Structure 1
Amino acid sequence: MFDHAYNSYMDYAYPADELMPLSCRGRVRGLEPNRGDIDDSLGKFDNDIVVSVFETNIRVLGGLLGAHVMADVLKQRGERMQWYRDELLHMAKELGYRLLPAFNTTSGLPYPRVNLRYGVVNPLSRTGTESDTCTACAGTTILEFAALSRLSGDPIFEEHARKAMDVLWEKRQRGSDLVGTVINIHNGDWVRRDSGVGAGIDSYYEYLMKAYILLGDKVYLNRFNTHYSAIMKYISQPPLLLNVHMHNPTINVRSWMDSLLAFFPGLQVLRGDLKPAIETHEMLYQVTKQHNFLPEAFTTEFRVHWGQHPLRPEFAESTYFLYKATGDPYYLNVGQSIVEKLNTHARVPCGFAAVQDVRTGTHEDRMDSFFLAEMFKYLYLLFSEKSQLPINIDDYIFTTEAHLLPVSLSTTQPPCHTNNTEPQAHEDDLFSYSCPSAQTLFPNNPTFAKTIRDSYKYLTGVGRAQQASPDSQKGVYKLKLVAEVSQTPEHEEVVPLIVQLISPPFLGRTVLTAGSAKFGMDLTKQEHGSVPYTACGPIENAVELQGHIALALRGDCMFAAKARRLQEAGATGVIFIDHREGSSSAETPLFQMVGDGEPTNDITVPLVFLFSKEGATLTATLQEHHNVDVLLLPKEKQLGKDFAEGETESTTIQLVLEQSETDTETNNEAWDQPSENAGCAMENVSAKSRPYHLSSSQGYPKSSHVKHSWNYIDLHRVRWYDA
C-alpha cells in the first residue's frame, strides 16, 4: 500500500509539492488551486512564499530531523549511507532559522505565518498583519525545535519554543486549568474560549507529555498532569470528549466532535490511563463501522456533521498504541478493518484519494503528506513483530507527524537555561511517571480491555441526560450513557430476522433483512409473554394503533421505552426503522436491540429492526399499495426459501395465504384460489409465526383470520407512528 502511494507520487507528481491522485499529476504551487494552510507548508526554503509555521514545523522540519536521525543510525552501524555528512540536519537548521522571525512578538507566541525569504516585518513579506493563532499552532514546536537545538548545538530554537509553551501555561484559566482554542499573539488574550482536545488545541497537550518523554523535563509532565486532570473533569464524558467553555466548563459549547480528537486515546496510553482510552477508541471504532471512516466532525448520535475524510491517521495511531499497551489481538482486527476500508474506498489507480463525503463515498483530488508519513507507519508497526524492526522503537518518541526522535536527546546536553517556570509541588505519584503495561497492571485479568469495550461495542449513539450537580450553582452536566444495542460477545453471531412481503404483487419475493431484540417475543422460539407494562409517554392515536403493527422511527428514547409505549397502546408488534440516512444491512453489521436497564420480560410483542434503506423500501411499499401482508420470522424459515427460483407466478401464489371472507378489500382474486400446497409452505414456518398486514393509516379492517393451514394465525394491519 505504501509503495502504491509513494510510487504514484514519484511517477506522476515528483518534484511537485504533492500528488493529485485522481488527476494523476502533481499539484504545483501557483498553477493548481491552492488548498490553504495545508498547501502553505509545502515549498522551497529560499523562496518568496508565505507558509504556515505550524505545518512547516511538524511536516518539513520534523521530517528532516527524523530522516537525519535514521540516516545517522544506519551510518553508525556501518552498513549503509557511509557517504552521509549531515546534509539533512543542515537543511533542517536552515529551515529553522527561516521560521525564527515568526517568534518576534511581544508575547513570544509565534505568528501563524512567515515568509521564508523575507520573514515577517519586512514590507515584502506579505504577512505580519495577523494578530491571532491557535493554541496548537503556538504550542507544537517544542519537540522539533528542542531536537534541532540539541542536534545542531544552537540553543536558540529550544529557547523560543520553551518561551511559547511558558506563555500558554501562564495564560491558562486558573479556575479550570483549561486553555482556549485561539489566542492573541501580542497580548495573550484569549480570542476563542472553547476548550477541548480536538482541532486547535490537540497537539499542545500532546507535546507537553512528549516533551517530558523526549527531554526528561518534569516541568512539562507537571503541566500536562494539571491539564489532564481538568480534561478528565470537564471535557471527558466517557466515551465522549466534548468541548466546554474554559471559563465556565460546566457548559458544553457544541454537541459534535471532530476527528482530530482520535489521537487522544493514544496520548492516554502514554499517560497510563488505559480505561478511558479503550472507551473512547471503541466509540470511534463504532463510528468508522457506520461511515467507513471518521467524518471530519460527527454528533453524539454519530451522525455526520462534516462529511470529509482526508485520510487522517489519528485513529490508526491510537489503535497502534492500544495494541502495544494491551497486546489484545482485538486491535489487530481493528487495524485490519482500516486496511480493508482504505483499499476498498480510497485506493485509486494513482495512489489513495481523500474522501469528499463519507455518506456518498465521493473522492477528492488530494493525498496529504501525513497519509504517507503517519498512516502506513502506524499500520506497519501494528502488524510487525518487534524482532522485525530495524530499530528499537521504544528508544524513540513520535512527533505529531509520526517522525521519530531519540529519547536519548535528554542526555546530549543540559536543558535550556531560559526556562523560568518552576515545577509545581505535587504529591509523589509514581503512576504518572510510568508507562502502561496490561501485563503489569492487570496480571490476573488479561481480557480487561474486552470487559471495558463490551459496554460500548455496539454503541450507535449516546443519549445525554443533563443533570445539575449539587456542588455547582450553575450545574455540572453529566452524561447518562445508554447503549441501545446488544453487548454481544465479539465472536457471537447475531441471528438475522426478516420482514417478508407476502401479499400481491410481492408474493414473498421481497425479503428485508432485520435485526432482533434481546427482549420481547422470541421469534425463533415463538414464546408468548404476559401483560403490558406502563408506557413511558402518551400516544395520541392509540385507538387506531390497537391490533396493528407499529412502524417506529429510532431515536429520542430507548427501544424498550418505545416498545412498552406501543404495546400499552395495543400494538401487536413493532418494526423499528433506523433514523440514520443511508444505513443498510448490506453495509452495517446486524445487532440486537437491548433494554434500557429495567426488566424487559414485560415486553411480549415481537420486535424487529430495519436499517434505513430496508425501511425506506417498506414505507414506500406501504404508501403505494396501502395493504401489504408481511411475515416476521427467522431468516432460515423464510417463506418459499426451499423452492426453485424458476417457479411460476401461479405456483408462488399457491404458496401464500388464502384470504378470508373478512378481508376482501384487497380484491385480489389470486388470494381466493384454494391450494393443496398451502400446507407445504407452512412446513417452513412455525404454526405460531405471525404474518402481519401492513396498511396506511386509513380506515381498513384491523384484523382477519386465515382459513385452512393457518387458521390460528392473525393477520394484522400496521399503523405508522413516529415514536
Structure 2
Amino acid sequence: MLLETKHLFPWPHLELLLSLSLLGIYSDVVTDHAYPADELMPLTCRGRVRGLEPSRGDVDDALGKFSLTLIDTLDTLALLNKTAEFEEAVRRVVTDVRLDNDIVVSVFETNIRVLGGLLGGHSMAVMLKESGRMVWYQDELLHMAKDLGLRLLPAFNTSSGLPYPRVNLRFGVRGPETRTGTETDTCTACAGTIILEFAALSRFTGDPTFEAHARRALDFLWEKRQRNSNLVGTTINIHSGEWVRRDSGVGAGIDSYYEYLMKAYILLGDEQFLQRFNTHYASIMKYISQPPLLLDVHIHKPLLPARTWMDSLLAFFPGLQVLKGDIRPAIETHEMLYQVTKKHNFLPEAFTTDFRVHWAQHPLRPEFAESTYFLYKATRDPYYLEVGRTILENLNRFARVPCGFAAMKDVRTGSHEDRMDSFFLAEMFKYLFLLFAEEEDLPFNVEDYIFTTEAHLLPLSLSTASNSQAAKLFVYFKSIKYFMANNPEHLELLRRMGVSLIHLKDGRVQLVQHATQAVSAVAAEDGMRFMQEMMELSSQQQKEQLPPRAVQIVSHPFFGRVVLTAGPAQFGMDLYKSSSGVRGFVTVAEPYNGCSVLSNGEIVAGRIALLQRGQCMFAEKARHIQKAGAIGGIVIDDNEGSSSDTAPLFQMAGDGRNTDDVTLPLLFLFYKEGNILLEALKEYREVEVLLSDKARDRGEMLSETEPRHEYEKMLIFEEGGTPEEEDCSTEEKDHTSPASSEPVDQSQVTTQEQTTDDSVVGQESVQPAEGLGSYDPVDVGEEPAVDGDYSSQSVDSLMADWQEDLEAFKQMEKDEL
C-alpha cells in the first residue's frame, strides 16, 4: 500500500505538506499581493498586470486581465478538499472577473487555462452541489465558459478551419480595432488542442457549435499530415495548409495535438480519434523514438534527425504512453528525464542528448511530474514516489521564495525569474498531490474524470451526453484488465450487453456479441465498444513483451546453466523486490491441479510445488500450496505444445478477491518449458531451482554450494579459466532505479556463459525495471485440464540442444559487438 511506502521518506504525509503549501500560495494569489492580477510575481510579491510590466513577448499572450491564476486553480482547490477556499474562489470569479476586455490573447492558452479552468470548476461545483454543499450554485461558471467560448469562435473563421493564433476578447479578429487577424501561421498544438474543452462546452450546454469547430480543425490537420511518414510538422499556414516548419517531434509545437487525439477518443468515444492517434504513434515510435531519447526529424525525410537536443515539454510523453498502454518505452524515457533532472535539479527548457544544458530556463513546468504520477499509477512501484519526492525537495530547496515559487532563470546558477505561471498551481500541485495522496484523501474518484493538458478535470459522463456515444469508454480501459470469466457481476454485465462466452479447450475464453440479445440499443452499443476494446487489448498483448521471471535449475548436473522463461503473478511475492529470489527443491503437488487440500502436504512443506494449470483459479492453487507449507509454486500449462517461443507471456490473475494473504512467489511455465523441468525431476529425483527476476551468475550459484565437488571445480576451470581467475561476484542489484536492471534473456532456454568482458550487449539505452508491474494482461480464468503424460525427451538430448543454443548465443554476441 502507498501508506507503507511513504514511511520510506523523511515525512509520512507529503500530500499534507502540499496541501498546506497550496493554501499559503493561494493566500498570496488572492490577497493584495496578486489579486485580481493574472499572475503572481513571487520575487517582488505583487501581481503581474499586462501593460503595467515590461512586455515579455508571446508569453504575455496568456494574460487577459481575467484573474488567470485564480481560474486555473479552481479544481485544484476542490481536489485538495479545500471546499471553503474553493467556494470563496468561485464567488470571486463570478463576481469580479470580466471576459469582455479589449485585449489580444492566445487562443490556445485561453482555451486550455481559462475555458478549461471554468469547465473544471463547474464540474467540481456540480459535484459538490449534488453532495449537499454549494447549494447556491446555479451554473454560473458554465455561463461564463460559454461567454468565453463565443469570444474565441471568431478565431476559427478561416477557410481551413484552423484558428488564428490570437483573438481580441472584445472585437474578435476582423477590423483595425482588433489589433490582430494578420497572422498566417500557427503551431500544430495550438490548432489541435481545442477538442476537449470545446466538446465539453458543447455537451454541457447542448450547443454543438463549439465541438464542430474543434473537430474541423483536427480534421484539417489530419488531412495535411505527410502521407508517407504520417507525421505532422510544427508550424502550419492557417490559410493554405502548407507546412511552414517541417520538423516533427513530440515536444513544443506539437505535443498536445497527439495528447488530445487519444483523450478525445476516451472522452467522446469517436474511434476515428483513436485510429488517427495509433497511426501517428506508430510513426513516432518508428522515426522519433530512439530509446530512451525522443529526437525531432523531418516529416519528408524522417530518417534524418532535425536536431540533436530535446525540449522539456516532451516530458509529458511517457504519461501519454501509459494511457496508450505502452509502458516499457515510457519507463525508459522517464528514467532518462530523471537523470537530467538529478544532474540539473530541474529539467532545463532544452537539453542535449548527453544531458548538457541547451536552454537554461525552467519555468516550473509540470510535465515531468505528470508522467511520474501516471507511471506510479500504472506500476505502483515506490521508485516513482522517490522521484516525486525529489521533485518536491528541489522545488522547496531551489524555487521556494517568500511569496510563492519562482521560475528558474538558469538551472546552472540557480538564479530566479520573477514569474510563477498559473500552470504551476493548476498542474504541478495537482499531480504531486495525487502522487502521494491516499485514496481516502481524495474527495471524489478521479477515475471518473479525464485530465486536460492543463490538468483540468472533465467528467467522463459527458460521453453519454450525445446519443451517438453511449459508452463511458474510459471505464472499459480501467475494467478490462480486471475482467474475469467466473465473476458473476462481470458475466451479468456482459449478458446485458449481448456478449456471451465460449470456453475453449486450451483454457482460453472467446467472446461473442449478438446485438439482438442486448437488453437495449444503448447496451448493444456498449457491448460493441467493449468487444472492440477487448480486441485492441488482445492485439496489444500479443505485441507487448512482458518482463519475464526466471526459473533457474541450479542442482547437479545443471548448476544454473538452464534458465526457463516464466511469467509472474499479479499477487504473492514480487521477485523483483527480492535480492536473492527463492531457492528450493521442487516436488509435484497432489492433486496435481492444486485445486484442493494437498494430500502430500508433508512432502511439499519447505519445497517449491509444481502444479498443473486448470480447474480452478491461480490464487486458489497458491493458497493450497501455501497452506501446506510450500515456499513457492510453479504452474505448468496444460495446453500441450505451448511455449514462450510462440505464445506471449501473461501475468496470472487473482480470483477477484483480496489476495494479500498470498505471500509466496508463483510463476507460470508454458508446456514446453515446464516439461523440461518435469523431465529433469523424473531423471534426477532431487532438482533444485531458483525463482528470481533474472538469471543469477553461474559462478555465484556454485559459490553458494560449499564445499564444491571436484566435478564443479573442473566445470569452472573448463569454461572460465582457472579457479583463481574466475570472478564469481555479481553487481549488487539497485532497487531504486529502473535503469539498473540488466534485461532477462528472453529465450526459452538460455545457457548462462560468464565472460571477463565488462561490456554488456544491448545496454546502450536506459533499461526499464524488469520487476515493474507495468502491464496487466487479461487472464479470464481457467478451464478443466486434461491430464497427459510428460514428454519422454531425454536429458542427454536436451543437453545437446543447450550446447547448440550456447554456440548460437556466442555467435549472436559477436554479431552484436
Task: Please report the TM-score for the alignment, with normalisation by the length of structure 1.
Answer: 0.60
Structure (1/2) with the larger helix percentage: 2
Structure 1: 5+ residue runs without aligned partners? Answer: 417-422, 452-488, 490-527, 531-588, 604-723
TM-fit CA distance, 1:602: 9.3
**Are the structure 2 counterparts of residues 251 and 89 from structure 1 closer, same or farther at C-alpha, using a change threshold of 3 Å?**
same
Question: What do the CA deviations read for 1:347-400 (whole angstroms, capped 9, x no partner)?
Answer: 000100000000000000000000000000000000012222111111100000
Residue of structure 2 equivalent to 1:65: 119
Matched residue, 1:14: 35
Q: Residue type of the partner of 1:5?
A: I
Whether the 8 Å CA contact 1:178–1:230 is kept in 2: the answer is yes
Partner residue in 2 for 1:443: 569
Alignment counterpart, residue 274 of structure 2, candidates 221, 228, 246: 221
**Are 1:430 and 2:537 matched, yes or no?**
yes
1:135-284 superposed matches below 5 A: 135-284=188-337
Change (3 A) 1:149 1:444: closer
Q: CA deviation at 1:77?
A: 1.1
- CA shift for structure 1 position 249: 0.4
Query: Following the alignment from structure 2 to structure 1, what is the Cα–Cα distance between the partners of residues 248 and 437?
Result: 37
What is the deviation of 1:16? 1.1
Q: Which residue of 2 aligns with 1:35?
A: 56
Residues 1:126 and 2:179 are matched in the alignment:
yes
Structure 2 distance, partners of 1:373, 1:311, is: 12
Q: CA RMSD in A?
A: 3.1
Q: Secondary structure at the match of 1:105?
A: coil
How far apart are the structure 2 equivalents of 1:34 and 1:449?
A: 53
> Cα deviation per residue 1:41-77 (whole Å; 9 max; x = unaligned)?
2224211110000000000000000000000000011
Equivalent residue of 1:60, what SS?
helix
Secondary structure of 2:177's counterpart equals coil
Q: CA deviation at 1:5?
A: 2.1
Task: Provide Cα deviations, 1:119-149, integer angstroms capped at 9, x if missing partner.
Answer: 0112211111100000000000000000000
Secondary structure (helix, strand or coil) at the match of 1:429 reads helix
Q: CA deviation at 1:228?
A: 0.4
State the match for 2:343 in structure 1. Answer: 290
Give the secondary structure class of the aligned counterpart of 2:178: coil
Match of 1:472 in 2: none
Compute the displacement of 1:38 (Å): 3.2
Aligned twin of 1:376: 429
- Contact kept, 8 Å, 1:325 with 1:438, in 2: the verdict is no
C-alpha distance in 1, partners of 2:408/2:23?
A: 20
Q: State whether structure 2 residue 436 is matched by structure 1 residue 310.
A: no
The one-character-per-residue Cα deviations of 1:248-272 (angstroms, maximum 9, x if unpaired) are: 1000010000000000000000000
Equivalent residue, structure 2, for 1:77: 131
**1:132/1:183 contact within 8 Å kept:** yes
Shift of 1:33: 1.6
Change (3 A) 1:129 1:601: closer
What's the offset of the Cα at 1:109?
0.4
- Tell me which of 341, 359, 382 is aligned to 2:412: 359
**Does residue 349 of structure 2 align to residue 328 of structure 1?**
no
Q: Which amino acid counterpart does residue 36 of structure 2 have in structure 1? A: P
- Separation in 1, partners of 2:172, 2:755: 68
Look up the SS of the partner of 2:113 in the other structure: helix
Count matched residues. Answer: 457
Higher-Rg member (1/2)? 1
Secondary structure of the residue that 2:408 maps to in structure 1?
Answer: strand
Cα deviation digits, residues 513-537 of structure 1 (max 9, x gap) = xxxxxxxxxxxxxxx999xxxxxxx
* Higher RCO (C-alpha under 8 Å, 6+ residues apart): 2
Q: What TM-score comes out, normalization by structure 2 length?
A: 0.53
Report the equivalent of 1:117: 170
Moved more, 33-42 or 333-342: 33-42
User: Structure 2 CA distance, aligned partners of 1:176 and 1:61?
Assistant: 34
Q: Distance in 2 between matches of 1:397 and 1:268?
A: 15
Task: Give the 3-state SS of the residue equivalent to 2:160 in structure 1.
Answer: coil
> 1:83/1:431 Cα in 2 relative to 1: closer, same or farther (>3 Å)?
farther
Distance 1:163 1:35 in 2: 32
Cα separation, 1, equivalents of 2:221 and 2:26:
38
CA distance in 2, matches of 1:169, 1:204: 10
Query: Equivalents in 2 of 1:450, 1:214: separation in Å?
Result: 37
Identity of aligned residues (%): 72
- Residues 326 and 437 in structure 1, CA contact (< 8 A), matched pair in contact too: no
**Local SS of the residue matching 1:257:** strand
Tell me the alpha carbon deviations over residues 596-652 of structure 1, each in whole angstroms, 9 at most, x when there is no partner.
x9966699xxxxxxxxxxxxxxxxxxxxxxxxxxxxxxxxxxxxxxxxxxxxxxxxx
One-letter amino acid of the structure 1 residue matched with residue 404 of structure 2: G
Q: Which letter maps to 2:58?
A: D
SS in 2 for 1:191: strand
Residue ranges of structure 2 left out of the alignment (5+ in a row): 1-20, 67-98, 470-528, 549-566, 579-692, 694-723, 727-736, 743-752, 760-817
Query: Which digits, 9 at most, give the CA deviation of each residue in 1:75-100, with x for residues without a partner?
Result: 0111x110000000000000000000
**Distance of aligned partners of 1:122 and 1:236 in 2 relative to their CA distance in 1, 3 Å threshold:** same
* Structure 1 residue ranges (4+ consecutive) displaced by more than 3 angstroms after TM superposition: 425-428, 431-434, 436-451, 597-603
Instruction: Provide, for residues 180-215 of structure 1, a one-character-per-residue CA deviation record: whole Å limited to 9, x for no partner.
Output: 000010011111010000000000000000001111
Aligned to 2:445: 392
What does 1:635-650 align with in structure 2 at a 5 Å threshold? none
Instruction: Supply the AA of the counterpart residue of 1:39.
Output: D
Distance in 2 between the 1:185 and 1:50 partners? 18
Measured in 2, the distance between the counterparts of 1:104 and 1:442 equals 56
Instruction: Give the direction of change, closer, same or farther, for the CA distance of 1:601–1:262 in structure 2 (3 Å limit).
Output: closer
CA deviations over 1:325-355 (Å, ceiling 9, x no partner) = 0011110111011110000000000100000
Is 1:409–2:462 an aligned residue pair? Answer: yes
